[in-house]
Chain A
Amino acid sequence: MTRTTENPWLARFALATAFASLVLICVGGLVTSHDAGMAVPDWPTSYGHSMFALPFQFWRGGAFFEHTHRLWASLVGLLVVALTRWLNGRAARRPLAIIGLMEVLAGFVIFFLWPNLKATGHFLTGIGGVVLLAAWVWAQNEPAERPLPQLGWLAFALVQFQGLLGGLRVVLFKDQIGIFHAALAQLFFVLLCVIALFTTQWWRKLKRLFPPRPVPRFDGFRAGSEIGAPKLRGLFLAATALIFLQLIVGATMRHQHAGLAIPDFPTAYGRLWPATDADSIARYNQERVEATGVNPITAFQIVLQMVHRVIAGAIVCLAALGAWLTRGQLRWQNPLSKISLAWFGLIMFQTILGAATIWTGKSANMATAHVACGAVSLMTGAMLILLSLRGLVPVERQARAAGEKTKPSEFAAEPAVVHDVRCRL
Protein backbone atom coordinates (compact mmCIF):
# COMPACT_ATOMS: atom_id res chain seq x y z
CA MET A 1 0.00 0.00 0.00
CA THR A 2 2.72 2.48 0.88
CA ARG A 3 5.29 1.27 -1.66
CA THR A 4 6.66 4.07 -3.79
CA THR A 5 7.24 2.26 -7.07
CA GLU A 6 4.43 1.26 -9.42
CA ASN A 7 1.90 2.55 -6.94
CA PRO A 8 -1.07 4.27 -8.55
CA TRP A 9 -2.20 5.46 -5.11
CA LEU A 10 0.96 7.49 -4.64
CA ALA A 11 0.34 9.17 -8.01
CA ARG A 12 -3.28 9.83 -7.07
CA PHE A 13 -2.30 11.24 -3.71
CA ALA A 14 0.31 13.50 -5.31
CA LEU A 15 -2.27 14.67 -7.86
CA ALA A 16 -4.81 15.35 -5.12
CA THR A 17 -2.20 17.38 -3.22
CA ALA A 18 -1.40 19.39 -6.35
CA PHE A 19 -5.12 19.98 -6.91
CA ALA A 20 -5.53 21.11 -3.30
CA SER A 21 -2.76 23.65 -3.84
CA LEU A 22 -4.55 24.96 -6.95
CA VAL A 23 -7.69 25.40 -4.86
CA LEU A 24 -5.53 27.19 -2.30
CA ILE A 25 -4.35 29.58 -5.03
CA CYS A 26 -8.02 30.24 -5.86
CA VAL A 27 -8.95 30.94 -2.23
CA GLY A 28 -5.84 33.08 -1.78
CA GLY A 29 -6.76 34.91 -4.98
CA LEU A 30 -10.24 35.57 -3.59
CA VAL A 31 -8.68 37.01 -0.42
CA THR A 32 -6.73 39.55 -2.47
CA SER A 33 -9.60 40.19 -4.90
CA HIS A 34 -11.87 41.02 -1.96
CA ASP A 35 -9.10 43.03 -0.29
CA ALA A 36 -9.66 40.79 2.71
CA GLY A 37 -6.05 39.98 3.58
CA MET A 38 -6.24 42.02 6.76
CA ALA A 39 -9.77 41.04 7.79
CA VAL A 40 -8.39 38.78 10.51
CA PRO A 41 -5.79 40.97 12.24
CA ASP A 42 -4.17 38.26 14.34
CA TRP A 43 -2.22 35.18 13.27
CA PRO A 44 -1.95 32.21 13.65
CA THR A 45 -4.94 32.69 15.93
CA SER A 46 -8.16 34.06 14.43
CA TYR A 47 -9.77 36.78 16.57
CA GLY A 48 -7.99 35.23 19.53
CA HIS A 49 -9.51 31.83 18.92
CA SER A 50 -7.61 28.78 17.79
CA MET A 51 -7.75 28.76 14.00
CA PHE A 52 -9.58 25.43 14.03
CA ALA A 53 -12.21 26.50 16.57
CA LEU A 54 -13.35 29.87 15.27
CA PRO A 55 -17.06 30.34 16.02
CA PHE A 56 -19.11 30.33 12.86
CA GLN A 57 -20.57 33.81 13.43
CA PHE A 58 -17.17 35.33 12.58
CA TRP A 59 -16.98 33.74 9.15
CA ARG A 60 -18.45 36.80 7.49
CA GLY A 61 -17.53 39.05 4.59
CA GLY A 62 -13.81 39.39 4.08
CA ALA A 63 -13.10 37.25 7.14
CA PHE A 64 -14.77 34.31 5.42
CA PHE A 65 -12.19 34.33 2.62
CA GLU A 66 -9.20 34.97 4.87
CA HIS A 67 -10.16 32.35 7.40
CA THR A 68 -11.00 29.73 4.75
CA HIS A 69 -7.62 30.47 3.18
CA ARG A 70 -5.89 29.71 6.48
CA LEU A 71 -7.82 26.51 7.06
CA TRP A 72 -7.31 25.23 3.52
CA ALA A 73 -3.62 26.13 3.74
CA SER A 74 -3.37 23.99 6.86
CA LEU A 75 -4.90 21.10 4.94
CA VAL A 76 -2.38 21.56 2.11
CA GLY A 77 0.41 21.66 4.69
CA LEU A 78 -0.82 18.39 6.16
CA LEU A 79 -1.04 16.75 2.71
CA VAL A 80 2.46 17.91 1.77
CA VAL A 81 4.00 16.61 5.00
CA ALA A 82 2.29 13.27 4.34
CA LEU A 83 3.53 13.29 0.74
CA THR A 84 7.10 13.99 1.85
CA ARG A 85 6.87 11.15 4.34
CA TRP A 86 5.55 8.81 1.67
CA LEU A 87 8.09 9.77 -1.01
CA ASN A 88 10.99 9.38 1.40
CA GLY A 89 9.77 6.27 3.15
CA ARG A 90 11.45 5.13 6.32
CA ALA A 91 14.49 7.29 5.53
CA ALA A 92 12.35 10.31 6.37
CA ARG A 93 11.55 9.30 9.93
CA ARG A 94 14.70 10.49 11.60
CA PRO A 95 15.00 13.84 9.74
CA LEU A 96 11.31 14.52 10.33
CA ALA A 97 11.66 13.76 14.03
CA ILE A 98 14.66 16.08 14.30
CA ILE A 99 13.04 18.89 12.29
CA GLY A 100 9.76 18.56 14.17
CA LEU A 101 11.49 18.64 17.54
CA MET A 102 13.60 21.62 16.55
CA GLU A 103 10.55 23.50 15.34
CA VAL A 104 8.65 22.83 18.55
CA LEU A 105 11.64 23.93 20.62
CA ALA A 106 12.32 27.00 18.48
CA GLY A 107 8.65 27.85 18.74
CA PHE A 108 8.76 27.75 22.54
CA VAL A 109 11.99 29.74 22.70
CA ILE A 110 10.61 32.47 20.43
CA PHE A 111 7.34 32.43 22.32
CA PHE A 112 9.00 33.19 25.65
CA LEU A 113 12.02 35.27 24.60
CA TRP A 114 10.52 37.58 21.97
CA PRO A 115 6.94 38.43 22.88
CA ASN A 116 6.48 40.51 19.72
CA LEU A 117 7.21 37.41 17.60
CA LYS A 118 4.79 35.33 19.65
CA ALA A 119 2.71 34.52 16.57
CA THR A 120 5.68 33.00 14.78
CA GLY A 121 6.46 30.90 17.85
CA HIS A 122 2.88 29.70 17.94
CA PHE A 123 3.03 28.77 14.26
CA LEU A 124 6.35 26.91 14.56
CA THR A 125 5.15 24.89 17.54
CA GLY A 126 1.98 23.88 15.71
CA ILE A 127 3.70 22.86 12.51
CA GLY A 128 6.45 21.09 14.43
CA GLY A 129 3.77 18.99 16.08
CA VAL A 130 2.44 17.90 12.70
CA VAL A 131 5.96 17.04 11.52
CA LEU A 132 6.57 14.98 14.67
CA LEU A 133 3.33 13.15 14.00
CA ALA A 134 4.52 12.32 10.47
CA ALA A 135 7.77 10.96 11.91
CA TRP A 136 5.87 8.84 14.38
CA VAL A 137 3.65 7.16 11.74
CA TRP A 138 4.76 3.55 11.35
CA ALA A 139 5.31 3.17 7.61
CA GLN A 140 8.49 1.46 6.50
CA ASN A 141 8.40 1.73 2.72
CA GLU A 142 11.46 2.28 0.53
CA PRO A 143 12.11 5.80 -0.72
CA ALA A 144 10.83 6.65 -4.19
CA GLU A 145 13.15 6.91 -7.18
CA ARG A 146 15.28 10.01 -7.50
CA PRO A 147 14.57 12.89 -7.70
CA LEU A 148 11.20 12.36 -5.99
CA PRO A 149 12.46 12.26 -2.40
CA GLN A 150 14.41 15.47 -2.97
CA LEU A 151 11.43 17.16 -4.58
CA GLY A 152 9.36 16.01 -1.60
CA TRP A 153 11.73 17.75 0.81
CA LEU A 154 11.64 20.88 -1.33
CA ALA A 155 7.84 20.93 -1.17
CA PHE A 156 8.05 20.28 2.58
CA ALA A 157 10.29 23.32 3.07
CA LEU A 158 8.27 25.52 0.71
CA VAL A 159 4.88 24.82 2.26
CA GLN A 160 6.12 25.86 5.70
CA PHE A 161 7.88 28.91 4.33
CA GLN A 162 4.69 29.88 2.49
CA GLY A 163 2.65 29.54 5.67
CA LEU A 164 5.10 31.77 7.51
CA LEU A 165 5.09 34.35 4.70
CA GLY A 166 1.30 34.42 4.64
CA GLY A 167 1.17 35.02 8.37
CA LEU A 168 3.91 37.65 8.39
CA ARG A 169 2.10 39.54 5.63
CA VAL A 170 -0.76 39.98 8.07
CA VAL A 171 1.14 40.83 11.24
CA LEU A 172 3.87 42.95 9.61
CA PHE A 173 1.53 44.97 7.30
CA LYS A 174 3.64 44.32 4.22
CA ASP A 175 1.99 44.24 0.80
CA GLN A 176 5.33 43.26 -0.75
CA ILE A 177 5.26 39.99 1.18
CA GLY A 178 1.89 39.38 -0.44
CA ILE A 179 3.44 39.64 -3.92
CA PHE A 180 6.19 37.18 -3.01
CA HIS A 181 3.67 34.87 -1.33
CA ALA A 182 1.55 34.85 -4.51
CA ALA A 183 4.44 34.21 -6.89
CA LEU A 184 5.88 31.46 -4.71
CA ALA A 185 2.44 29.85 -4.47
CA GLN A 186 2.46 29.36 -8.23
CA LEU A 187 5.92 27.77 -8.20
CA PHE A 188 4.79 25.55 -5.35
CA PHE A 189 1.80 24.40 -7.40
CA VAL A 190 4.10 23.63 -10.36
CA LEU A 191 6.43 21.67 -8.06
CA LEU A 192 3.54 19.51 -6.79
CA CYS A 193 2.43 18.88 -10.38
CA VAL A 194 5.98 17.84 -11.30
CA ILE A 195 5.97 15.42 -8.36
CA ALA A 196 2.60 14.08 -9.51
CA LEU A 197 3.92 13.64 -13.06
CA PHE A 198 7.03 11.81 -11.87
CA THR A 199 4.95 9.37 -9.84
CA THR A 200 2.84 8.30 -12.83
CA GLN A 201 3.33 5.05 -14.75
CA TRP A 202 3.42 7.07 -17.94
CA TRP A 203 6.51 8.99 -16.93
CA ARG A 204 8.22 5.84 -15.67
CA LYS A 205 7.62 4.17 -19.00
CA LEU A 206 9.17 7.15 -20.75
CA LYS A 207 12.17 6.81 -18.51
CA ARG A 208 12.52 3.09 -19.12
CA LEU A 209 12.47 3.62 -22.86
CA PHE A 210 15.74 5.42 -22.74
CA PRO A 211 17.78 4.89 -24.81
CA PRO A 212 15.38 4.37 -27.73
CA ARG A 213 15.78 2.16 -30.75
CA PRO A 214 17.61 3.55 -33.76
CA VAL A 215 15.59 5.87 -35.88
CA PRO A 216 16.05 6.28 -39.60
CA ARG A 217 16.64 9.83 -40.59
CA PHE A 218 13.60 11.18 -42.33
CA ASP A 219 14.30 14.01 -44.67
CA GLY A 220 11.33 14.10 -46.98
CA PHE A 221 8.88 16.15 -44.97
CA ARG A 222 9.21 19.90 -45.19
CA ALA A 223 12.94 19.62 -44.85
CA GLY A 224 14.74 22.86 -44.30
CA SER A 225 11.85 24.64 -42.66
CA GLU A 226 11.96 22.76 -39.39
CA ILE A 227 13.63 23.73 -36.20
CA GLY A 228 15.45 21.22 -34.03
CA ALA A 229 14.47 19.73 -30.71
CA PRO A 230 16.65 22.12 -28.70
CA LYS A 231 14.94 25.07 -30.33
CA LEU A 232 11.47 23.71 -29.60
CA ARG A 233 12.51 23.15 -26.01
CA GLY A 234 13.94 26.65 -25.89
CA LEU A 235 10.65 28.00 -27.16
CA PHE A 236 8.68 26.26 -24.40
CA LEU A 237 11.21 27.46 -21.87
CA ALA A 238 11.08 31.07 -23.07
CA ALA A 239 7.27 31.13 -23.11
CA THR A 240 7.05 29.59 -19.63
CA ALA A 241 9.63 32.02 -18.25
CA LEU A 242 7.62 34.85 -19.75
CA ILE A 243 4.46 33.50 -18.09
CA PHE A 244 6.25 33.53 -14.76
CA LEU A 245 7.39 37.11 -15.32
CA GLN A 246 3.83 37.94 -16.29
CA LEU A 247 2.42 36.53 -13.07
CA ILE A 248 4.92 38.54 -11.03
CA VAL A 249 3.72 41.67 -12.83
CA GLY A 250 0.14 40.55 -12.24
CA ALA A 251 0.74 39.91 -8.53
CA THR A 252 2.36 43.33 -8.20
CA MET A 253 -0.71 44.92 -9.79
CA ARG A 254 -3.07 43.03 -7.53
CA HIS A 255 -1.21 43.90 -4.36
CA GLN A 256 -1.32 47.65 -5.02
CA HIS A 257 -4.91 47.63 -3.70
CA ALA A 258 -5.71 50.39 -6.17
CA GLY A 259 -8.42 48.91 -8.33
CA LEU A 260 -8.00 49.05 -12.10
CA ALA A 261 -5.15 51.32 -13.18
CA ILE A 262 -6.61 51.39 -16.70
CA PRO A 263 -10.37 50.90 -16.93
CA ASP A 264 -10.71 50.12 -20.65
CA PHE A 265 -9.50 47.41 -23.01
CA PRO A 266 -8.22 47.03 -25.72
CA THR A 267 -7.79 50.78 -25.58
CA ALA A 268 -6.10 52.48 -22.60
CA TYR A 269 -7.94 55.63 -21.53
CA GLY A 270 -9.24 55.74 -25.07
CA ARG A 271 -5.79 55.69 -26.59
CA LEU A 272 -3.27 53.18 -27.82
CA TRP A 273 -0.83 54.12 -25.06
CA PRO A 274 -2.07 56.17 -22.08
CA ALA A 275 -0.50 59.47 -21.03
CA THR A 276 1.49 59.25 -17.81
CA ASP A 277 2.21 62.93 -17.08
CA ALA A 278 1.09 64.30 -13.73
CA ASP A 279 -1.89 66.24 -15.13
CA SER A 280 -3.28 63.25 -16.97
CA ILE A 281 -2.87 61.03 -13.90
CA ALA A 282 -4.74 63.62 -11.82
CA ARG A 283 -7.50 63.67 -14.44
CA TYR A 284 -7.66 59.85 -14.58
CA ASN A 285 -8.01 59.78 -10.81
CA GLN A 286 -10.87 62.29 -11.00
CA GLU A 287 -12.70 60.21 -13.56
CA ARG A 288 -12.47 57.00 -11.59
CA VAL A 289 -15.84 55.89 -10.33
CA GLU A 290 -15.19 54.26 -7.03
CA ALA A 291 -17.31 53.46 -4.04
CA THR A 292 -14.59 52.26 -1.74
CA GLY A 293 -12.17 55.16 -1.95
CA VAL A 294 -9.24 52.88 -2.73
CA ASN A 295 -5.73 54.25 -3.12
CA PRO A 296 -5.26 56.63 -6.06
CA ILE A 297 -3.56 55.24 -9.13
CA THR A 298 -0.04 56.26 -10.12
CA ALA A 299 1.94 56.43 -13.36
CA PHE A 300 3.82 53.32 -12.22
CA GLN A 301 0.60 51.33 -12.01
CA ILE A 302 -0.53 52.46 -15.45
CA VAL A 303 2.81 51.50 -17.00
CA LEU A 304 2.67 48.19 -15.12
CA GLN A 305 -0.67 47.33 -16.66
CA MET A 306 0.56 48.28 -20.12
CA VAL A 307 3.59 46.02 -19.62
CA HIS A 308 1.20 43.26 -18.56
CA ARG A 309 -0.70 43.72 -21.84
CA VAL A 310 2.46 43.70 -23.96
CA ILE A 311 3.83 40.56 -22.28
CA ALA A 312 0.43 38.91 -22.77
CA GLY A 313 0.73 39.55 -26.51
CA ALA A 314 4.22 38.05 -26.57
CA ILE A 315 3.05 34.94 -24.69
CA VAL A 316 0.14 34.42 -27.08
CA CYS A 317 2.54 34.63 -30.05
CA LEU A 318 5.05 32.20 -28.50
CA ALA A 319 2.36 29.70 -27.54
CA ALA A 320 0.86 29.87 -31.04
CA LEU A 321 4.30 29.37 -32.57
CA GLY A 322 4.94 26.46 -30.21
CA ALA A 323 1.69 24.74 -31.13
CA TRP A 324 2.32 25.31 -34.82
CA LEU A 325 5.92 24.04 -34.83
CA THR A 326 5.15 21.05 -32.63
CA ARG A 327 2.34 20.01 -34.91
CA GLY A 328 4.52 20.50 -37.97
CA GLN A 329 7.31 18.35 -36.60
CA LEU A 330 5.55 15.70 -34.62
CA ARG A 331 2.10 15.44 -36.19
CA TRP A 332 -1.20 15.53 -34.39
CA GLN A 333 -1.14 12.09 -32.81
CA ASN A 334 1.82 13.03 -30.67
CA PRO A 335 0.94 13.93 -27.06
CA LEU A 336 3.35 16.84 -27.20
CA SER A 337 1.38 18.33 -30.11
CA LYS A 338 -1.89 17.89 -28.25
CA ILE A 339 -0.61 19.41 -25.02
CA SER A 340 1.01 22.23 -26.92
CA LEU A 341 -2.26 23.02 -28.67
CA ALA A 342 -4.17 22.79 -25.39
CA TRP A 343 -1.64 25.22 -23.97
CA PHE A 344 -2.34 27.68 -26.72
CA GLY A 345 -6.08 27.31 -26.06
CA LEU A 346 -5.51 27.86 -22.35
CA ILE A 347 -3.54 31.02 -23.03
CA MET A 348 -6.22 32.37 -25.36
CA PHE A 349 -8.77 31.67 -22.62
CA GLN A 350 -6.49 33.41 -20.13
CA THR A 351 -6.35 36.46 -22.42
CA ILE A 352 -10.14 36.58 -22.52
CA LEU A 353 -10.27 36.28 -18.73
CA GLY A 354 -7.80 39.15 -18.47
CA ALA A 355 -9.92 41.33 -20.74
CA ALA A 356 -13.04 40.32 -18.85
CA THR A 357 -11.36 41.33 -15.59
CA ILE A 358 -11.16 44.86 -17.00
CA TRP A 359 -14.62 44.82 -18.58
CA THR A 360 -16.23 43.73 -15.31
CA GLY A 361 -14.44 46.50 -13.40
CA LYS A 362 -12.18 43.95 -11.69
CA SER A 363 -14.92 41.66 -10.48
CA ALA A 364 -13.47 39.53 -7.69
CA ASN A 365 -14.49 36.24 -9.27
CA MET A 366 -13.18 37.16 -12.71
CA ALA A 367 -9.85 38.40 -11.34
CA THR A 368 -9.48 35.21 -9.31
CA ALA A 369 -10.30 33.01 -12.32
CA HIS A 370 -7.58 34.92 -14.17
CA VAL A 371 -5.10 34.08 -11.38
CA ALA A 372 -6.07 30.40 -11.38
CA CYS A 373 -5.91 30.09 -15.17
CA GLY A 374 -2.48 31.74 -15.03
CA ALA A 375 -1.31 29.08 -12.59
CA VAL A 376 -2.56 26.30 -14.86
CA SER A 377 -0.86 27.95 -17.85
CA LEU A 378 2.45 28.14 -16.00
CA MET A 379 2.12 24.53 -14.91
CA THR A 380 1.33 23.35 -18.46
CA GLY A 381 4.39 25.21 -19.73
CA ALA A 382 6.53 23.45 -17.13
CA MET A 383 5.05 20.08 -18.15
CA LEU A 384 5.84 20.81 -21.81
CA ILE A 385 9.44 21.61 -20.91
CA LEU A 386 9.81 18.37 -18.96
CA LEU A 387 8.11 16.27 -21.62
CA SER A 388 10.20 17.78 -24.39
CA LEU A 389 13.37 17.25 -22.35
CA ARG A 390 12.44 13.63 -21.87
CA GLY A 391 10.80 12.97 -25.20
CA LEU A 392 12.49 15.13 -27.81
CA VAL A 393 15.95 14.02 -28.81
CA PRO A 394 17.80 14.97 -31.96
CA VAL A 395 18.10 11.98 -34.25
CA GLU A 396 21.90 11.93 -34.42
CA ARG A 397 22.31 11.70 -30.68
CA GLN A 398 19.52 9.19 -30.47
CA ALA A 399 21.13 6.98 -33.06
CA ARG A 400 24.43 7.20 -31.25
CA ALA A 401 22.88 6.32 -27.93
CA ALA A 402 20.99 3.47 -29.49
CA GLY A 403 24.09 2.17 -31.23
CA GLU A 404 25.81 1.76 -27.93
CA LYS A 405 23.07 -0.15 -26.22
CA THR A 406 20.17 -1.33 -28.31
CA LYS A 407 17.12 -2.34 -26.41
CA PRO A 408 13.87 -3.68 -27.81
CA SER A 409 11.38 -0.88 -27.79
CA GLU A 410 7.94 -1.10 -26.35
CA PHE A 411 6.80 1.31 -28.99
CA ALA A 412 5.99 -0.62 -32.13
CA ALA A 413 4.12 2.31 -33.55
CA GLU A 414 5.36 4.47 -36.36
CA PRO A 415 8.12 6.69 -35.00
CA ALA A 416 6.96 10.24 -34.85
CA VAL A 417 10.08 11.59 -36.42
CA VAL A 418 10.27 14.40 -38.89
CA HIS A 419 13.48 16.00 -40.02
CA ASP A 420 15.82 15.78 -37.05
CA VAL A 421 13.42 15.56 -34.17
CA ARG A 422 11.84 12.48 -32.79
CA CYS A 423 9.43 12.28 -29.96
CA ARG A 424 9.43 9.20 -27.80
CA LEU A 425 6.15 9.97 -26.11
Chain B
Amino acid sequence: MGVMVNQKFKIKNSDATLHNVHATPKINTEFNFAQPVKEQVNEKSFDKPEVPVRFMCNVHAWMFAYVGVFDHPYFAVTDKEGNFKISGVPNGKYTVEAYHVKTHRDGPGVSKEITVNGDTKADFTIELKK
Protein backbone atom coordinates (compact mmCIF):
# COMPACT_ATOMS: atom_id res chain seq x y z
CA MET B 1 0.00 0.00 0.00
CA GLY B 2 1.20 3.54 -0.66
CA VAL B 3 0.45 6.63 1.43
CA MET B 4 1.65 10.21 1.45
CA VAL B 5 3.68 11.86 4.15
CA ASN B 6 1.37 12.89 7.02
CA GLN B 7 -1.59 11.21 5.31
CA LYS B 8 -3.74 9.38 7.80
CA PHE B 9 -4.48 5.76 7.04
CA LYS B 10 -6.68 3.25 8.83
CA ILE B 11 -5.61 -0.07 10.29
CA LYS B 12 -8.51 -2.39 10.91
CA ASN B 13 -8.75 -5.76 12.65
CA SER B 14 -11.33 -7.85 10.75
CA ASP B 15 -10.70 -10.96 12.84
CA ALA B 16 -12.30 -12.10 16.05
CA THR B 17 -8.84 -12.55 17.49
CA LEU B 18 -6.15 -10.29 18.85
CA HIS B 19 -3.34 -8.88 16.69
CA ASN B 20 -0.63 -6.41 17.46
CA VAL B 21 0.26 -3.89 14.77
CA HIS B 22 3.99 -3.35 14.85
CA ALA B 23 5.50 -0.97 12.29
CA THR B 24 9.30 -1.19 12.01
CA PRO B 25 10.39 1.80 9.92
CA LYS B 26 14.04 2.80 9.79
CA ILE B 27 13.49 6.53 9.22
CA ASN B 28 10.06 7.17 10.69
CA THR B 29 9.02 6.50 14.27
CA GLU B 30 8.44 2.89 15.22
CA PHE B 31 5.07 2.05 16.78
CA ASN B 32 3.37 -1.00 18.19
CA PHE B 33 -0.16 -1.31 19.50
CA ALA B 34 -2.71 -4.04 20.10
CA GLN B 35 -6.05 -4.62 18.40
CA PRO B 36 -7.86 -6.97 20.75
CA VAL B 37 -11.35 -6.16 19.47
CA LYS B 38 -12.94 -7.23 16.19
CA GLU B 39 -13.62 -4.29 13.84
CA GLN B 40 -11.23 -2.10 15.84
CA VAL B 41 -9.87 0.72 13.66
CA ASN B 42 -6.84 2.87 14.43
CA GLU B 43 -5.55 5.84 12.49
CA LYS B 44 -1.85 6.40 11.94
CA SER B 45 0.48 8.41 9.72
CA PHE B 46 4.17 8.75 8.93
CA ASP B 47 5.90 12.12 8.68
CA LYS B 48 8.88 11.22 6.46
CA PRO B 49 9.12 9.54 3.05
CA GLU B 50 10.28 5.93 3.35
CA VAL B 51 9.97 2.86 1.12
CA PRO B 52 9.24 0.33 2.41
CA VAL B 53 7.94 0.42 5.98
CA ARG B 54 7.48 -3.10 7.21
CA PHE B 55 4.48 -3.99 9.39
CA MET B 56 4.21 -7.17 11.34
CA CYS B 57 2.18 -8.96 13.92
CA ASN B 58 4.17 -10.62 16.69
CA VAL B 59 1.22 -12.67 17.88
CA HIS B 60 1.17 -14.42 14.51
CA ALA B 61 4.72 -14.53 13.19
CA TRP B 62 3.58 -15.13 9.60
CA MET B 63 1.60 -11.87 9.31
CA PHE B 64 3.35 -8.95 7.68
CA ALA B 65 2.73 -6.08 5.26
CA TYR B 66 4.59 -3.27 3.55
CA VAL B 67 3.66 0.39 3.23
CA GLY B 68 5.43 2.93 1.03
CA VAL B 69 5.47 6.54 2.26
CA PHE B 70 5.90 9.24 -0.41
CA ASP B 71 6.22 13.00 -0.42
CA HIS B 72 4.14 13.20 -3.65
CA PRO B 73 0.85 11.62 -4.77
CA TYR B 74 2.18 9.82 -7.89
CA PHE B 75 2.50 6.19 -6.90
CA ALA B 76 0.71 2.91 -7.50
CA VAL B 77 0.84 -0.72 -6.48
CA THR B 78 0.84 -3.18 -9.37
CA ASP B 79 -1.71 -5.96 -9.77
CA LYS B 80 -0.79 -9.64 -9.96
CA GLU B 81 0.25 -9.32 -13.60
CA GLY B 82 2.38 -6.29 -12.82
CA ASN B 83 0.08 -3.68 -14.41
CA PHE B 84 -0.22 -0.29 -12.82
CA LYS B 85 -1.64 3.11 -13.61
CA ILE B 86 -0.79 6.51 -12.16
CA SER B 87 -3.42 9.12 -12.95
CA GLY B 88 -3.42 12.91 -12.82
CA VAL B 89 0.24 13.39 -13.67
CA PRO B 90 0.89 16.80 -15.29
CA ASN B 91 2.87 16.77 -18.51
CA GLY B 92 6.64 16.95 -18.13
CA LYS B 93 9.78 14.91 -17.52
CA TYR B 94 9.77 12.32 -14.76
CA THR B 95 11.77 9.50 -13.30
CA VAL B 96 9.62 6.44 -12.67
CA GLU B 97 10.95 3.95 -10.20
CA ALA B 98 9.76 0.38 -9.82
CA TYR B 99 10.48 -1.40 -6.60
CA HIS B 100 10.04 -4.98 -5.46
CA VAL B 101 10.69 -5.75 -1.83
CA LYS B 102 12.31 -9.10 -2.46
CA THR B 103 14.68 -7.86 -5.16
CA HIS B 104 15.52 -4.37 -4.02
CA ARG B 105 15.31 -4.65 -0.22
CA ASP B 106 16.62 -1.35 1.18
CA GLY B 107 18.16 -0.14 -2.04
CA PRO B 108 16.47 1.90 -4.75
CA GLY B 109 14.41 0.09 -7.38
CA VAL B 110 14.96 0.21 -11.11
CA SER B 111 14.24 3.61 -12.62
CA LYS B 112 13.53 5.05 -16.03
CA GLU B 113 13.34 8.56 -17.41
CA ILE B 114 10.05 9.30 -19.14
CA THR B 115 8.35 12.28 -20.65
CA VAL B 116 4.65 12.46 -19.86
CA ASN B 117 2.46 13.91 -22.54
CA GLY B 118 -1.14 12.86 -22.06
CA ASP B 119 -1.41 9.08 -21.72
CA THR B 120 2.09 7.71 -21.50
CA LYS B 121 3.21 4.10 -21.22
CA ALA B 122 6.29 2.96 -19.28
CA ASP B 123 7.50 -0.65 -19.23
CA PHE B 124 9.81 -2.15 -16.65
CA THR B 125 11.42 -5.45 -16.06
CA ILE B 126 12.34 -6.46 -12.58
CA GLU B 127 14.65 -9.41 -12.64
CA LEU B 128 14.99 -11.66 -9.66
CA LYS B 129 18.76 -12.04 -9.63
CA LYS B 130 19.69 -15.68 -9.59
Contacts and interface: CB of A to CB of B under 8 A. Distances in A.
Interface in B85-127: 101-103, 105-106
Given A38-B20, A38-B32, A58-B36, A63 B130 contact: no
A58 B18 contact: yes
Given A60-B17, A60-B18, A282-B129, A42 B34 contact: yes
Contacts of A191: none
Given A58-B36, A60-B18, A286-B130, A39 B101 contact: no
> Which secondary structure characterizes the binding site on chain A?
loop
B20 A292 contact: no
A411 interface: no
Interface stretch (B3-11, B43-51, B54-62, B72-80): B54-62
Interface in B2-47: 17-18, 20, 22, 30, 32-34, 36
B84 interface: no
Given A39-B58, A60-B17, A62-B59, A296 B129 contact: no
Q: Which of B30, B34, B102 has the most CB of A within 10 A?
A: B34
A61 B64 contact: no
Nearest to A41: B32
Interface string A252-289: 00000000000000000000000000000011011000
Contacts of A66: 58
A408 interface: no
A283 B103 CA distance: 10
Contacts of A173: 30, 32
B129 A286 contact: yes
Given A40-B20, A41-B20, A41-B22, A62 B130 contact: no
A236 to B, nearest CB: 40
> Which secondary structure characterizes the binding site on chain B?
loop
A34 B36 CA distance: 20
B64 A293 contact: yes
A60 B59 contact: yes
B101 A293 contact: yes
A34 B56 CA distance: 13
A31 to B, nearest CB: 9
Contact of B129 (A47, A48, A283): A283
A71 B64 CA distance: 28
A292 B59 contact: no
Interface string A30-48: 0000111111111000011
Given A35-B58, A47-B18, A63-B58, 17 more contacts: A34-B61, A35-B61, A36-B61, A38-B58, A39-B58, A40-B34, A47-B36, A57-B18, A60-B17, A60-B18, A61-B61, A62-B61, A63-B59, A66-B58, A286-B128, A286-B129, A293-B54
28 contacts: A36-B61, A38-B32, A39-B20, A41-B20, A41-B32, A41-B33, A41-B34, A42-B34, A47-B34, A57-B18, A60-B17, A60-B18, A61-B59, A61-B61, A62-B57, A173-B30, A283-B129, A285-B105, A286-B102, A286-B103, A286-B129, A292-B56, A292-B61, A292-B62, A293-B54, A293-B64, A293-B101, A296-B105
